[in-house]
Structure 1
Amino acid sequence: MADIAAASHMSLATVDRVLNRRKGVSSRTIERVLKAAVELGYLNPEAHEQLAAPRPPNIVFLLPMGTNPYLRLLGEKVRAVADAHSRDQPPIRCFFIDSFDAKALAAGIRQHARWADGIAFMGIDHPLVREAIEEVGASGTRLVTIVSDLPHPARETYIGLDNQVAGRTAAYLLGRFCGGRKGSVALVAGSRTYRAHSERETGFLSLIEELQPGIEVIGMREGHDDRNENYQHALALIEQHPDLVGIYNVGGSSDGIARALTQKQKSGDIVFIGHGLTHDTRRLLIEGTMDAVINSDPDQVISATLAHFNGVAQASTRNHHLQHLKIELILRENIPLQYV
């Protein structure tokens, strides 16, 4: 490598970056180093051709840490894809950061942009995050929001559910399952800082009163996708509202709400709809504690994200569109076997 550096009039560090296909080396420099490597007999023509080809992008997924089973499942699947990748496929890394912490997300975006060509993350609607993606996007790192969007010129696309439609779907189901009963309905969310949650709330409210005029929505509690917080919220809702006929969990960790329903012997009496098909929600559907799960296949989230990063090679071809994934409506009788 020292001989290649001398022959190409490049630093040893630059030679290392070229031969290991690292980020941030111009095509002109790459060809200069590889030409010297071939002339010195370090590389054969086949190896030269491989190293001269466009480098697969380095991709990072940033997901919130916590007890949300769906996001843990998504992270596990990303890491499984990363472990199975070949030399010619994009190197993938997955990191969990503090949930609902805009400062931590902004810091993570800046930190991982040093290695990553593309970053996929769940957007938190906060000035710190918007400033970070403005800065990182201007430096050339490509940005995609997944599951929860953050509209910004620096992000190329959003991949996930149409969350207003998901909220309206929940309202339709809950209204139909209530079967004309009058009473109150509650919403539990992770946090409105995730646009996914606020958009689902908006969609739900836009339909439920029109569909079921006898139902009163008593507001939304924020449980931060924590099963213990969700449990406490559900207990309080059941105790404070004897006429409670339904709960819509806008976020994750539905097992906390289910524990309260079971403890208060309300399973089957209170309609319960949530998001994300995982081992816990699958069990709750089978037991009859949950009535329906609105799901976005995590494999589709991952494959669509990787396809986007691989398919858009030049900055001039980027466009700021949305890639809404198919909503899966899972009931007790149609649980897919592949989620077992």
Structure 2
Amino acid sequence: MPAQRLSVVVTRRLPDAVETRMKELFDVELRDDDARMSREELVAAMRRADVLVPTITDQIDAGLIGQAGDRLKLIANYGSGVDNVDVATARQRGILVSNTPGVTVEDTADMTMALILGVTRRIPEGLAVMQSGQWGGWAPTAFLGGRVGGRRLGILGMGRIGQATARRARAFGMQVHYHNRQRLRPEIEQPLEATYWESLDQMVSRMDVVSINCPHTPSTFHLMNARRLKLMKPGAVIVNTSRGEVIDENALTRQLRAGELAGAGLDVYEHGTEVNPRLRELPNVVLLPHMGSATVEGRLEMGEKVIINIKTFADGHRPPDLVVPSML
């Protein structure tokens, strides 16, 4: 007699190939549209499912986990970050949490470089002129940006994405600097020709470009606060493809409006979709709708990891991408 298939609830639409494979393997509930589940819908799903597959837009906090049913044994997050899930509370309830690490490293590093180029070469300003039909032709002093070659790039967070960004930056002729909780091993640091700064304050005060590539944790919340942003050079640029909460967005907006920073490129925001309207008005700011990991290949690989985690759990083994509180 075949084993009973796991009941799996997915909170958002996933790529067709991923959903098709899930239907083959599990008793899966999929979304008809891509609207986010309400809190009430999430509670109901967690009461009837063996496995919940949320995304970063679903806040699975202690209150929700406290209302989960006895059936729920795995939260298989579709995303590399898990700051949307209260992992500690889940584990206390006997619920495992898994994620999808590593698959979007190259994609996010590509977008980091795109933002650096977009801001320093004023690409959105040029695009806006072309789309408006107002372009009057080439001029020697029009749309003058800055050359990225030779500039100092300070990477805040030298994990896999930070290192991938460093490799790209070196190819563009940038000087790579970084601040990290721990210095990289020589065999990693030396090929990147990266300079380690123990003091974040000293690093940001000397950089031409600062790239945020660290996760959001209690210790990194507003790591780039008003005081630290003011340490940056007036001609410097800051980009963020990691987590919006790392930068004090109001302080950043004030500094950009005052001309105390040359520009910013953001793919993530402190308050999710509620972007400061004053930030949107600035011509020297490139804003993207969280596109850093948005490639077809990346989304499919994320789905494959979710499926492997659920299938391994169903077979009675530890999910390969299990998240434990000590990792956070």
Kindly indicate which of the two structures has a greater share of residues assigned to helix.
Answer: 1
Q: Normalised by the size of structure 2, how large is the TM-score?
A: 0.43
Kindly indicate which of the two structures has a greater share of residues assigned to strand.
Answer: 1
Larger Rg: 1
Q: Which structure's relative contact order is higher, taking Cα pairs within 8 Å and 6+ residues apart? A: 2
